[in-house]
Amino acid sequence: MIQIISSTNRPGARSLEVANIFQGYLNKCGENSEIIDLQKINFSILDGSQYSENQPESITNIKAKLNSARGFVFVVPEYNGSMPGILKYFIDHWSYPDTFEYRPTCYIGLGGRFGGLRPIEHLQGVMGYRNAFQFPERVFISNVWTTLKNGTIDDENVCNLMLRQAENFIRFIHALESQGLDANSFIKSKIKGH
Ligand SMILES: Cc1cc2nc3c(=O)[nH]c(=O)nc-3n(C[C@H](O)[C@H](O)[C@H](O)COP(=O)(O)O)c2cc1C
C-alpha cells in the first residue's frame, strides 16, 4: 500500500485536497493507496512521549502502516519558508531505520510563488539523511489559492505532471522491489538474518 501523507493539521487544509487528487491519479494507474491526514492524529500531548516506548496508540497504529508501506507520497505546504512543524514532529515519532531506510518517497509541494519548493527541499534533506530512496520527479503547485478550486486543479500542466509523477513513481517502486532494494524487502531480509 502506498501511504499519502497530508502534512498539516490545519483545519480545511488544501494539502488534503491535493492528497485526494493524487490518490485519484494512483487509482487511475491501478494502484492502491491510503491517506494519512495529520489532522486526524491526536497530537494534543506535547509531553515528549515520542522519544519513548510509550507513544500514543494513535501514532503506533499509523507507524505500523508506515513501516510496511510500499512508498510514501508527501503532500507538503509551505509554512514560513519550510515544512509545517507538525510534520517534523510526526516524523520524530518514526523508527530508524525501519520507517525510513530504502523507503521509496515522492514529493508534492504547495504554496505561493515558489510552490512549496523550500519545504520539499528541507524535507528531502531529512529523508536523504535517513537513507530513503527519493523519486526525483517532484511537483510544485504555485499560488495554490488560485490553482486549486473546489477540490480540483485548474492548471492542465500541473495535472499532467501529477499523472506522470504517479505513473513513474509506481514504476520506480517496482524497479526497487524487483531488485530487493525497497524498505520492505530489506526488513524481511534482516528478519531472515541475511
Ligand atoms: C502558518 C502559515 C505560514 C505560511 N507561510 C508561507 C510561506 O512562507 N510561503 C508561502 O508561499 N506560503 C505560505 N503560506 C501559505 C500556504 O502555503 C498556503 O496557504 C497553503 O494552502 C497552506 O497549505 P494548507 O492549506 O494545506 O494548510 C503560509 C500559510 C500558513 C497557514
34, pLDDT greater than 80:
yes
- Residue carrying C-alpha cell 504554496: 111
Model confidence band, residue 44 (pLDDT cutoffs 50, 70, 90): low
- For residue 52, the model assigns a pLDDT of 78
Average pLDDT, the chain: 94
Q: Please count the CA atoms within 13 angstroms of the CA of 114 that sit on its side-chain side.
A: 13
- For residue 194, the model assigns a pLDDT of 61
CB distance 97 to 28 below 8 Å:
no
Q: Write out the H or E segment, with its range, that includes residue 74.
A: strand 71-77
Q: Choose one of 79, 141, 144 to mutate for the ligand 1 pocket test, by most ligand atoms within 8 angstroms of C-beta.
A: 79
- For residue 45, the model assigns a pLDDT of 59
- For residue 86, the model assigns a pLDDT of 95
Asked whether 180 lines ligand 1 (CB < 6 A), one says no
Asked whether 15 lines ligand 1 (CB < 6 A), one says yes
* Domains of the chain and CATH, by start: 2-192 (3.40.50.360)
Bigger pLDDT: 46 vs 66: 66
Short-list 48, 120, 54, CA closest to 89? 48
Asked whether 118 lines ligand 1 (CB < 6 A), one says no
Asked whether 78 lines ligand 1 (CB < 6 A), one says yes
193, pLDDT greater than 90:
no
Q: Which ligand 1 atom sits nearest the alpha carbon of residue 75?
A: 26
Bigger pLDDT: 104 vs 50: 104
Residues 104-148 pLDDT 10s: 999 999 999 999 999 999 999 999 999 999 999 999 999 999 999
Residue 17 has φ and ψ, to the nearest 5°, of -65, -45
Model confidence band, residue 82 (pLDDT cutoffs 50, 70, 90): very high
What's the pTM?
Answer: 0.96
CB distance 73 to 102 below 8 Å:
no
Bigger pLDDT: 43 vs 70: 70
- Over pLDDT 70: what percentage of the chain? 98
CB distance 85 to 92 below 8 Å:
no
- Over pLDDT 90: what percentage of the chain? 86
